A and B are shown apart, each in its own frame.
Chain A
Amino acid sequence: MRGIEEAAKHIAAQGESRARLARDPVNQAMVNNWVEALGDGNPAYTDPEFARGSVHGGLVAPPAMAQVWTMNGLHGTRADDDPLGAMMSVLDEAGYTSVVATDSEQTYHRYLRHGEHVAASTRLEGVVGPKRTALGEGWFVTTRTTWSVAGEPVAEMMFRVLKFRPAGEPAPAPDPAAVLRPVISRDTEFFWAGTRVGELRIQRWGGGTLRHPPGPVAPNGDLAAKPDHVVANGTGTVYSYVVHHHPKVPGKRPPFVVALVELDEGVRMLGELLDAGPEDVYIGLPVEVSFVRVDDELTLPAWKVRS
């Protein structure tokens, strides 16, 4: 939650996006299509003679077309500083993947005339949540867009969407079969055989020296030596960690924590920290092993916070 609010604060602090110029200046062809589609018969938009004699003194464009001029087009992409796009990404990542527009208020300062080139810029006004709604839990995201011509504001819009996690659809569990499977050698197979039976095995040489990750030669170089293993207690502390956000990793739902744990036996080992979020993990956090069974062949070592 705090992650979303902080991201919103950062995005809002960036203020207005750079003004993005409309693809075309205000023009009759687009006006014709729009009034036809909406059934707006006002001749001030289409009849030059009528328009000349009207209060406008000439053809004007319907004010409600403000947004039309700066739409991205069929193959367009959002500007990279678009605050709505940025906020949507944050919420997508947090599992709020669906979106519905809830309300919009437009204010028109004046009519636009043909040939005027409109530019739009947007800022993030607020992000409120999480709220329980009929659609599911979600966040209300409000932006304000200003359209201007040569710096003069001509129209404004408050636009609000609900970005939500569909009700009854808990965030889908990642497919464990999608996990990147380990390459196993003769030197490491004892480790994976151990996880399958719930043992965290550490390679041991000469009855004492522990080594992880394991290898085929004793740390002292004795080629005659043969290793065995000890079964670790399974307890240790976080030595370092990563909170992974991007890009997607097969079998994982971001953000997730991977921790490098120093086991009580003295070796370090990597695993996902299953039950601590980005705000809860710290270097020194006591953890214990937990085994994540993927299938008959593969069980991954992972960590849980030690109570």
Chain B
Amino acid sequence: MTLPGKAAIAGIGATEFSKDSGRSELRLAAEAVSAALADAGLKPSDVDGLVTFTMDGNAEIAVARELGIPELSFFSRVHYGGGAAAATVQQAAMAVATGVADVVVAYRAFNERSGHRFGQVSGAAAQQVNTSGVDNAFHYPMGLATPAATVAMVAQRYLHTYGATSEDFGRVAVVDREHAATNPNAWFFGQPITLAEHQASRWVAEPLHLLDCCQESDGGVALVVTSTERARDLPRPPAVIAAAAQGSGPDQYIMTSYYRDDLAALPEMGVVGGQLWRQAGITQADVDVAVLYDHFTPYVLMQLEELGFCGRGEAKDFVRDGALGLDGALPLNPHGGQLGEAYIHGMNGIAEAVRQIRGSAVNQVGGVRHVLVTAGTGVPTSGLVLAAS
């Protein structure tokens, strides 16, 4: 049995994206799941599986209790922060394809701005009593203690190795914000930026400016996965899961894979990409829209290279001249990405991929057949190819 094509995303739902939701994370999760089920034309009693991130604060059973989901036969969590995003859909698709569950909802909900902020230094992360805590002993005490700083270390080496510049990073931010500017659900709706503004924004961790870093958001997103066959009978056009993959690379760490031969690379995304092309039976040229995880701009350039859209070190040339715009060779993050729309740990990007397949996005790209979505980078990660039915 193989996975591709067996399952589809039949419903998407979200809360508003804000900086202060004013309600509990569990309430956000319940609202997002409820909205996704309504979108799919299904009821809570149809759900028999729930999947989320290990980082999510809302237990599957808590979400089930709130929504009146009577029984669950499948519940699962995926680790490694934002690297889990596409993998939650993979888990759901595997459960559906194997008959373990019929309707699985993947969700992520948090008050990441008004509550626990990932951009701050986390003593709890530094001092967790497990192998990750032992790993962290070799960078937190030395002052390398935020996600931005851990990315900056790789970005600095990337600039040095390939002669890229901060402006090359900035072009990603400009594209995201340009797309967010025409998305009413985006936090930065109506607020595009220029490359000069990117350059003038304050340093967070050199070589990263503030505008290289995604925002912090409150909100929730949920995705309903069921068999492609069943999805065809539901109200929305199915977004077929043509490929779903996870990946970790050699000598892998969480955000600090600094001891590999090549620091200026994301081999874990290469592991994901290879599987996606094989499973979906497509090549880079068949991708109509790319939703690439954009917590920090340098990793968007490096993903383009790992996924084979351009050669190693050539992303700086690839992103020039509007290639990532809605009419470009590879439209990127039409919703505005996490820099522009919201930071919901990659799940809002999957919802956008579904809208692009349905043809219902605010910044709709014409004739979309295949959308590539990736999850968090710098960590063990995941990806999807969604296809029109």
**Cross-chain contact A180 with B144 (CB below 8 angstroms):** no
Query: Which of B127, B197, B203, B256 neighbours the largest number of chain A CB atoms within 10 Å of its CB?
Result: B203
CA distance A185 to B133 in the complex (A): 9
CB of A268 within 8 A of chain B? yes
A213 and B135 within 8 A (CB): yes
Does A11 sit at the interface, judged by CB under 8 A? yes
Task: Please determine whether B156 and A7 come into contact, CB atoms closer than 8 angstroms.
Answer: no
Per-position binary interface string of chain A over residues 270-307, scored 1 when its CB falls under 8 Å from any chain B CB and 0 otherwise: 11100000100001000000000000001011100000
Q: Is A109 an interface residue (CB 8 A)?
A: no
Question: Beyond A14-B200, A245-B206, is A180–B126 a contact (Cβ under 8 Å)?
Answer: yes
Among the stretches B54-62, B117-125, B351-359, the one at the interface with A is: B117-125
With a cutoff of 8 Å between Cβ atoms, the chain A residues found around residue B203 in the complex are 243, 245-246, 255
Interface string of A160-204 (1 = CB under 8 A from B): 000000000000000000011111110110000000000000000
Give the interface centre of B126, B134, B141, B259 by most chain A CB atoms within 10 Å.
B141
B140 to chain A, nearest CB (A): 4
Considering the complex, give the chain B residue whose CB is closest to the CB of A184.
Answer: B137
Q: Does A117 contact B (CB under 8 A)?
A: no
- With A183-B133, A183-B137 known as contacts, the answer to whether A249 contacts B143 (CB < 8 A) is yes
On whether the beta carbons of A258 and B144 are closer than 8 Å, the reply is yes
A226-269 CB contact bits vs B (8 Å, 1 = yes)? 00000000000001111111111111100110101000000111
What residues on B are CB-neighbors of A249 within 8 Å?
Answer: 121, 143, 145-146
Interface size on B, residues (CB 8 A): 45
Contact of A64 with B by CB under 8 A: no
- Residues in A neighbouring B156, C-beta threshold 8 A: 240-242, 283
Q: Smallest Cβ distance from A37 to chain B, in angstroms?
A: 36
B1 at the interface (CB under 8 A from A): no
Within 8 Å of chain A (Cβ to Cβ): is B310?
no
Q: Which residues of B contact A212 (CB under 8 A)?
A: 138, 259
- Is B259 a contact partner of A240 (Cβ separation < 8 A)? no
- B154 at interface, CB cutoff 8 A: yes
The answer for the CA separation of A270 and B149 in the assembled complex, in Å, is 12
A-B contact count (CB 8 A): 133
State whether the Cβ of B258 lies closer than 8 Å to any Cβ in chain A: yes
**CB atoms of B202 and A180 under 8 A apart:** no
Q: Chain A nearest CB: distance from B103 CB in Å?
A: 41
B278 at the interface (CB under 8 A from A): no
Q: Does B160 interact with chain A (Cβ within 8 Å)?
A: yes
Contact assessment for B263 and A239 in the assembled complex, using a CB-CB cutoff below 8 Å: yes
CB pair A180 B127 closer than 8 Å: yes
A243 to B139, CA, bound (A): 14
Interfacial chain A residues near B133, Cβ < 8 Å = 183
* Residue B152, interface by CB 8 Å: yes
Assess the B142–A272 pair: CB atoms within 8 A.
Answer: yes
Q: Does B323 contact A (CB under 8 A)?
A: no
Chain B nearest CB, measured from A233 CB (Å): 19
Report if B67 contacts A (CB, 8 A).
Answer: no
Chain A interface residue bracket vs B: 35 or more
Residues of B within 8 A of A7 (CB): 202
Could you tell me the distance in whole angstroms from the C-beta of A202 to the nearest C-beta in chain B? 12
* A182/B153 contact (C-beta < 8 A), A245-B204, A249-B145, A255-B203 known: no
Shortest distance between the CB of A221 and any CB in chain B (Å): 14
Q: Does A32 contact B (CB under 8 A)?
A: no
Distance of A301 Cα from B200 Cα, bound (Å): 34
What residue in chain B is nearest A242 (Cβ atoms)?
Answer: B152
A181→B141 contact, CB < 8 A: yes
Residue of A nearest to B206 (CB): A243
Shortest Cβ distance from residue A49 to the other chain B in the assembled complex, whole angstroms: 48
Question: For the complex, what is the distance from the CA of A246 to the CA of B216, rounded to whole Å?
Answer: 14
Q: Is the CB of A247 within 8 A of B154?
A: no
The B131-190 residues at the A interface (CB cut-off 8 A) are 131, 133-146, 148-149, 152-154, 156-157, 160
- On whether A245 and B157 interact (CB within 8 A), knowing A187-B134, A270-B139, A272-B143, the answer reads no
Please report the C-alpha to C-alpha distance between residue A243 and residue B136 in the assembled complex, in whole angstroms. 19
Question: Cβ of B259: which chain A residues have Cβ within 8 Å of it?
Answer: 212-213, 267-268
**Shortest beta-carbon distance from B258 to chain A in Å:** 5
- Chain B residues in 8 Å Cβ range of A184: 134, 137
A215 to B210, CA, bound (A): 36
Indicate whether A90 sits within 8 Å of B202 (C-beta atoms), given known contacts A283-B156, A283-B160.
yes
Instruction: For residue A248, give the distance in angstroms from its CB to the closest CB of chain B.
Output: 7
A209 at the interface (CB under 8 A from B): no
- A13 and B139 contact, CB distance less than 8 A: no
Q: Is the CB of B143 within 8 A of A245?
A: no
Please report the C-alpha to C-alpha distance between residue A278 and residue B210 in the assembled complex, in whole angstroms.
Answer: 17
Known: A181-B127, A183-B133. A242 touches B157 (CB 8 A): no
Q: A250-B121, A260-B258, A270-B138 are in contact. Are A242 and B149 (CB under 8 A)?
A: yes
Confirm or deny: A114 has a beta carbon within 8 angstroms of a beta carbon on chain B. no
A-B contact pairs, 19 of them (CB 8 A): A13-B196, A179-B141, A180-B145, A181-B127, A183-B127, A239-B157, A242-B153, A244-B143, A245-B203, A246-B202, A249-B143, A249-B146, A250-B121, A251-B143, A258-B139, A258-B142, A272-B143, A298-B141, A302-B142
Q: Which residues does A use to contact B, with CB under 8 Å?
A: 7, 10-11, 13-14, 86, 89-90, 179-185, 187-188, 212-213, 239-252, 255-256, 258, 260, 267-272, 278, 283, 298, 300-302
Known: A10-B199, A244-B205. 19 other contacts (CB 8 A): A180-B123, A181-B126, A182-B140, A183-B127, A183-B129, A185-B134, A188-B134, A212-B259, A213-B138, A240-B263, A241-B153, A242-B149, A246-B204, A249-B121, A255-B203, A258-B143, A260-B263, A269-B138, A270-B258
